Amino acid sequence: MMKNIRVFLNAKEEDQIKAGFPWIFDNEIGFVKADAYDDKGQHSIVQSVLKETKAPDGSIVQVFSKSGMYLGTGVFNNTSKITVRLLTRGKIENEQFNQSFFDKKIQDALDLRLHYFSLEDSFRLVFAEADFLPGLIVEHYRTIENRTILVVQFLALACEKFRKEIINSLRSVIKPYGIYERSDASVREKEGLELSTGWIGGESNPLITISENSVLLQIDLAHGQKTGYFLDQKFNRKASASLCKGKRVLDAFSHVGAFGLHAFSSGAREVVCVDISEEASAAITVNAGLNKAGSSVRAVCADVFDYLKEAEQKGEKYDVIILDPPAFTKSAKDIKKAYGGYKEINLRAMKILSPGGILVTCSCSHFFDANTFYSMLDHASSDAHKNLQILEKRFASPDHPVLSGYSKSEYLKCVIAKIT
């Protein structure tokens, strides 16, 4: 049996941890030290390199610099390249990671959201490391029947280890009507965990309807992307909609049509929602019906790259174009390829905008950082022979806080610009 497990980093690896980064990678670890007890209770101190350590996955470990400076306490997982995910930077005994610890974490997360939202809203309740609960995502959906449904993702062993305590805390603090699990992301397999989905406890219909900025949206908790819906764009949808009255609007990469339906609700005369997914197109049609959009909102199932190219060839024009694509890169090595993709859709959108038209353009890849995004827009406008006036630089809504030192939490960029 091993107790008091300590992880010591290689020289100079502590700087980014001290700056707020919450992960310890396997190649940053010098050695692991622990108190060991044999079957007779005899005590010894053991030290080994990472690949030889017998410290069990899921152990609570303290992390130190090579010189012995305490850096934090977290959960150990030798199966993952992210070997330690920090739970706290304060010194804490293992037994203090109890129900009260997680009750406070969930309450703190809720209190932060209540500065910007009410319990009648839908919002992200827990944003993983940015809320000091590594690997845990919790969405707070409020249905039109005034029921609170939580969607949870346990994406790392660091939160899976405390599944029972976290679920108990959510039930105690939020008192939801139901909790649906969407732990079906492939990252779980890298953590040595099986995929898991379904209702936790009592079952209900996974098709729910929410109201976002007075726009009705049907959400499929079981089959919708990630946790069912992208709550991070809530305030950006409202901001873009304010520019759409009387306009012809293209909502590209539309998903369930949220940007386009916000435009309709603000008085757009025509909205075309384009997405390559047949399921998304069907969802757009359903949501258009919920909002009584009639023929004002039209769903088109097509590849956006092809649609923009064909629209240019036909001489079509739009007054407002919204681009909210999926992440074009999920690794640093693919940034150059992603740059080309982002540039192409933005360049083509600029070409089919009416003079003085509005471009709302987004990127949700944290690898494609803000400076790279803005540079891409400069190049796209130059090659399109257009003037680009940036009116707003926006980000995710405040239920997705940015943790200093953890750039992955600052992933969403949204620019509203005038094109002439």
Candidate list 159, 362, 364, 414, residue with the active-site label: 364
d(CA 231, CA 122): 8
Bridge partners, residue 25, by sequence: 82
Specify whether 244 is catalytic: no
Our CA dihedral for 7, 12, 15, 18, rounded to 10 degrees, sits at: 30
d(CA 118, CA 390): 31
C-alpha dist (Å) from residue 415 to 116, 185, 322, 373, 408: 22, 29, 10, 9, 19
Instruction: Give 379-382 contacts, CB < 8 A, sequence gap 24+.
Output: 379/343, 380/342, 380/343, 380/346, 380/347, 380/350, 381/346, 381/347, 381/350, 381/419
Count the neighbouring beta carbons within 10 Å of the beta carbon of residue 171.
Answer: 15
d(CA 15, CA 11): 10
Three-state secondary-structure class, residue 47: strand
d(CA 278, CA 294): 20
What residues are annotated to the active site? 364
